[in-house]
């Protein structure tokens, strides 16, 4: 039995309550770790530690912070197989096909932040008054609360923790309870550097208690959260007055225009966006809007790909898709498929769980056609391995399908007409639009986030944008007194 403790003010410790909970493998059902169940009191201690030690991180030069991030990346690299093992064990994704890749991306994210922070430049501003000199600097916000999900339990935390360290913010981090052991393995890599004591604090426990305390505490200056739209809206309300960086749900449409000349690689990219990480990705192609002339071609290609997927246990080297992480996700898949078929949809492939494994969380990749616009799969995020296909015959029908969902994270457009590509891309109400590629194409340095007026969050992670988000821009003016020289 593995043990996971809290890490507050440089010390590994148990919860004030001394209570614990357990995490389980979605693949085998076995108990993975006994985890300290943090409380509001533990969260307050972690926040106080972050506040009291924040000056020590802020005082480090940019080059020193950059070096620390490289050291964390080196630790991840040395322990890559061990950490990928933890991900496959506790999150459930295949070790060979996906978990190792996640660790590699986390290493890249740390390396990116270590370099980008060196070039976060500000300006000297020309002004009318000849006795004035005006310049700007960027300073850390202070303490950043980071609350992360279970679908990418190492890479997504890095998307917040790396830029927070780079910009000099102290951190209080709460991973999703079900991947607490994965979180602790990353935390070990952070601890094993000369990062000042108490500037990164690690909590485990329920979000509605520990997470809520982080969100509402007056000494926390900013909140970074990736997760569901429902929880994100609660956080936005509870964190009123704080800087919030919220990456929420998505139901990004993949749009196939009439003029598209689809290749085998195009179909493959759409399928990948549906089935990667068993569809448990906020940028997944949750709905595929296809011109009626191309419906048969798209259905055939996606079905062929789905049939080629090897659903299996996380440590089987032949597995290309593992179990869903939670029973609730399986139930949501059940509900969305039942709703779609009740409204006239046809399951072309999959549509059911596999019952010959140790748990009931294995789902066949699912291709479904004739989906009604009012179906849940078109209006909500499914977060499972599903490719729902809706057809349209004209621009008005397409626009109606697009606007059935209020989410605005990512989208994809397949077309061979450059005018159509740019016209539709610029009108799409999503933060990312990928032309002739999958909805979940993203490199870690590219700005990533939702769009105003939609329910997929606010702010940007990725590259330089997140460094700006986690800092305050301060303007300083200097008056040169008469007779003095500059």
Give pLDDT tens digits for 19-67.
999 999 999 999 999 999 999 999 999 999 999 999 999 999 999 999 9
pLDDT computed for residue 117 by the predictor:
98
Residue with token string 């032949």: 318
List the catalytic residue out of 90, 108, 247, 258. 247
Helix (H) or strand (E) holding 326: none
Helix axes 155-167 and 100-116, enclosed angle (nearest 10): 10
How would residue 229 be classed by pLDDT, with cut points 50, 70 and 90? very high
User: At CA 351, angle to CA 264 and CA 435, rounded to 5?
Assistant: 35
List the catalytic residue out of 282, 295, 381, 465. 282
How would residue 94 be classed by pLDDT, with cut points 50, 70 and 90? very high
Q: What is the mean pLDDT of residues 343-353?
A: 98
Set out the domains of the chain in order of their start, with CATH numbers.
2-248+456-473 (3.40.605.10), 253-435 (3.40.309.10)
pLDDT computed for residue 481 by the predictor:
83
107-163 pLDDT per residue, tens: 999 999 999 999 999 999 999 999 999 999 999 999 999 999 999 999 999 999 999
pLDDT computed for residue 484 by the predictor:
59
What predicted TM-score, i.e. pTM, was given to this entire model?
A: 0.97
Counts for the chain of helices (H) and strands (E), in that order: 15, 21
Question: CA of 123: how far to CAs of 128, 133, 318, 425, in Å?
Answer: 16, 11, 54, 32
Q: Return the number of other C-beta atoms located less than 10 Å from residue 134's C-beta.
A: 14
Residue 77's Cβ-side half-sphere holds a number of Cα atoms within 13 Å equal to: 11
pLDDT computed for residue 141 by the predictor:
98
pLDDT at 486 over 60: no
pLDDT computed for residue 1 by the predictor:
87
Sequence-ordered strand ranges (E) for 178-333? 200-202, 222-226, 243-247, 253-256, 287-291
Note if 282 is an active site residue: yes
155-184 pLDDT per residue, tens: 999 999 999 999 999 999 999 999 999 999
Q: Are 92 and 102 in contact (CB under 8 A)?
A: no
Residues 6+ apart with CB under 8 A from 375: 336, 339, 340, 343, 345, 388
Query: Among residues 83, 92, 99, 85, which one has the least CA distance to residue 24?
Result: 92
In the structure encoding, which two tokens stand for residue 80, read together?
A: 């890559």
How many whole angstroms separate alpha carbon 480 and alpha carbon 148? Answer: 48
Note if 247 is an active site residue: yes
């Amino acid at each position: 039995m593995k043990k996971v403790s809290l890490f507050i003010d440089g010390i590994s410790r148990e919860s004030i309550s001394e209570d614990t909970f357990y995490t389980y493998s979605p693949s085998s059902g076995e108990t993975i770790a006994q985890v300290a169940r943090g409380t509001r009191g533990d969260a307050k201690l972690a926040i106080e530690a972050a506040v009291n030690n924040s000056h020590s991180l802020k005082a480090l030069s940019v080059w020193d912070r950059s070096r620390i991030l490289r050291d964390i990346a080196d630790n991840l690299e040395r322990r890559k197989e061990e950490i990928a093992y933890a991900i496959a064990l506790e999150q459930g994704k295949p070790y060979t096909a996906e978990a190792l890749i996640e660790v590699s991306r986390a290493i890249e994210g740390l390396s990116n932040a270590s370099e980008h922070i060196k070039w976060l430049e500000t300006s000297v501003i020309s002004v009318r008054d000849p006795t004035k000199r005006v310049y700007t600097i960027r300073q850390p916000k202070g303490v950043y609360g980071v609350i992360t999900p279970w679908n990418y339990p190492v890479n997504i935390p890095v998307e917040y923790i790396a830029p927070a360290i780079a910009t000099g913010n102290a951190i209080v981090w709460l991973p999703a309870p079900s991947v607490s052991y994965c979180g602790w393995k990353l935390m070990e890599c952070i601890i094993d550097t000369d990062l000042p004591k108490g500037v990164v604090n690690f909590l485990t426990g329920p979000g509605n208690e520990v997470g809520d305390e982080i969100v509402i505490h007056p000494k926390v200056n900013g909140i970074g959260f990736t997760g569901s739209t429902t929880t994100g809206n609660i956080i936005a309300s509870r964190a009123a007055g704080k800087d919030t960086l919220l990456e929420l749900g998505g139901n990004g449409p993949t749009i196939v225009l009439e003029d598209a000349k689809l290749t085998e690689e195009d179909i493959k990219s759409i399928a990948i966006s549906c089935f990667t990480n068993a569809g448990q990705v906020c940028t997944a192609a949750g709905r595929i809007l296809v011109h009626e002339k191309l419906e048969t071609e798209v259905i055939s290609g996606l079905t062929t790909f789905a049939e080629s997927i090897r659903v299996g246990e996380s440590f089987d080297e032949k597995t290309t898709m593992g179990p869903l992480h939670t029973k609730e996700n399986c139930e949501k898949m059940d509900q969305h498929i039942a709703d779609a078929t009740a409204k006239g949809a046809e399951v072309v492939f999959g549509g059911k769980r596999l019952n010959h494994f140790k748990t009931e969380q294995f789902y066949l990749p699912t291709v479904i056609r004739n989906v009604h616009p009012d179906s849940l799969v078109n209006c909500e995020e499914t977060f499972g391995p599903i490719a729902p296909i809706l057809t349209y015959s004209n621009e008005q029908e397409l626009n109606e399908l697009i606007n059935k969902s209020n989410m605005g994270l990512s989208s994809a457009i397949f077309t061979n007409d450059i005018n159509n590509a740019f016209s539709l891309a610029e009108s799409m109400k999503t933060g990312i639009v990928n032309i002739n590629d999958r909805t979940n194409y993203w490199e870690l340095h590219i700005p990533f986030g939702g769009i105003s007026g939609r329910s997929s969050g606010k702010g940007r992670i990725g590259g330089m944008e997140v460094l700006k988000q986690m800092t305050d821009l301060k303007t300083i003016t200097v008056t040169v007194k008469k007779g003095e020289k500059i």
